[in-house]
Amino acid sequence: TVVSLEGRPGGNPRSKKTLAAVSMFSVLALVPACEEAPKPDAPAKPTAVASAEPAATAKAEPEKPKEVTGEELAKNVQAWTKAWDSGDAETLKALTTAKVSYEAVDSLPPMKHEGQDAMMEAHKMMKGAFSNMKNEVGLILVNGQEAVMLGSTHGKNDGELMGQPASNKELNIPTGVLIRATNDGKIESMREYMDQGTFAAQLGLMPAEHAAHMRQSWDPALWGGTKVVVAKNDETETKNLGLAKSWTANFNGHDLDKVMEGWADDAKFIYAGH
């Protein structure tokens, strides 16, 4: 409604214009209230492809390989030994890496094999010389991914060995093997320690007087059944390791008094390789 101020005292043209403008804006302001405003379009629903895109483009994190426990590594070592004795090539390869290293440290000539095929060639050579070869495991010490296996090797030399004809003599010799494995427990290197003098004497490859002196059989029953010891790296083991190191240093220094300080009164020393 437009109200005119012309008939009122004091009215002036400017007041009329102002009121008319205000009234016009009031009318315009009332228009939306009288008419229904158009509804905005509903947002489009995301398609299945769009919703799945983040999951499709996300990179899955690779699973970390499971680290083998000390007990599991010891079982792998025992399984490897049984497979070696039986000639189970499939198991031997399953328990080792493709580039496994196998070395007989004291062998003359030196014997070192790299890779699974070379390892199997070494096995073929030993089984050809000792068809009934068998390894007795007395003790397995495990620390992390390293293990030491102590035991003995037995068998009859009924085949050629490194150009030497079969002696048909029995072999019974102490052995030690240092083993390193990967985090998942596969063997990647083996270093075998064996007294080659005893080996040669038992096969009759040394003079009789030496053979008579050295042919003392080592009884694996001294160890009882196979024992597995997994390092805890605790305070007691740290002290024992320190004692072993100091004993070796004193022995090398020819300090008999200090050497004996590291021995209990009822200590026993067994020289298995003699």
- As averages over each run of 10 residues, the pLDDT of the chain (274 residues) reads 43 43 37 46 53 56 78 95 94 96 82 92 92 91 94 92 90 91 95 85 78 59 77 92 92 92 84 56
What's the DSSP call for residue 226? -
Q: Say which residue the tokens 């060639």 belong to.
A: 121
Run of H or E residues at 143: strand 134-143
Listed in sequence order, the residues at least 6 apart from 163 whose beta carbon sits closer than 8 Å to its beta carbon are none
Q: What is the pLDDT of residue 54?
A: 53
Q: In what side-by-side order are the strands of the sheet with 111-114?
A: 111-114, 96-104, 187-194, 170-181, 146-156, 134-143, 227-230
Q: What is the pLDDT of residue 214?
A: 59
Q: What is the pLDDT of residue 111?
A: 82
C-alpha to C-alpha distance for 230 and 273, rounded to whole angstroms: 25
What's the DSSP call for residue 224? -
Q: What is the pLDDT of residue 213?
A: 63
Rounded to whole angstroms, what are the CA distances from 215 to 44, 116, 208, 210, 220? 92, 34, 10, 8, 15
CA-wise closest residue to 126 among 162, 81, 168: 162
Q: What is the pLDDT of residue 45?
A: 55
Cβ atoms of residues 239 and 247 within 8 Å: no
Pairing of strands 187-194, 96-104: parallel
Looking at the whole model, is its pTM more than 0.75? no
Q: What is the pLDDT of residue 223?
A: 61
- 143 by Cβ neighbours in 10 Å (0-12 / 13-18 / 19+) ranks as middle
